[in-house]
Amino acid sequence: MRLSFPACCLLGAAFCFSLIAIAISLEVFAHFEPCPLCLLQRYVFGAIGLLFLIAAIHAPTGRGRYGYGSLLLITISIGLAIAGRHVWLVNLPLDEQPPCGPSLAFLMNNYPLLDSLRFILKGTADCGQAGKPFLGLSLPVWALGSFGSLFLYVLIILRLKRPT
């Protein structure tokens, strides 16, 4: 049985929204405090999930599939870059980690968007702390793997033939 493009997009959306739900539940129940980069990655997962959902509802054919696929791959690439930066910060020696900085809410409320993003991507000491591992891996590594998996998933579903 082959899945249609809209069904594959619904699966992608469900995966992204599940990741966000897991992150929120880890924050609430396991007291994992998210750093600004963690929150930024959540927003990117949300954007990817929304793109998948819109693509599923629109159910494009032909070039439309590749249009949505391109948007998804660009958005996922942004997530890969952010998660890769986060993993790099986590693996820096303690003396090379950036100093503590303000919260994401403070930055967004008091600085222009581009300045806030620039500051967030530099990282803070909070971003350099991997926190408690979840199933043996730090959360930034999980995010990087999830973005990588989504990238490959989009490439695969773009290669699917339409069911007859």
pLDDT over 90, % of the chain: 37
The first and second tokens of residue 98, run together, are: 């950036």
CA distance 85 to 38: 11
pLDDT in tens, 48-104: 999 999 999 998 888 888 899 999 999 999 999 989 888 887 777 666 666 555 556
Q: Whole-number mean pLDDT of the chain?
A: 81
Find all residues with CB under 8 Å of 30, minimum gap 6, and list them. 132
Question: Of 19-33, 74-88, 98-112, 131-145, where does mean pLDDT reach its minimum?
Answer: 98-112
Find all residues with CB under 8 Å of 62, minimum gap 6, and list them. none
Does position 161 have pLDDT exceeding 50, yes or no?
A: yes
- Domain map (residue ranges) of the chain: 5-159
CATH of segment(s) 5-159: 1.20.1550.10
pTM across the whole model: 0.80
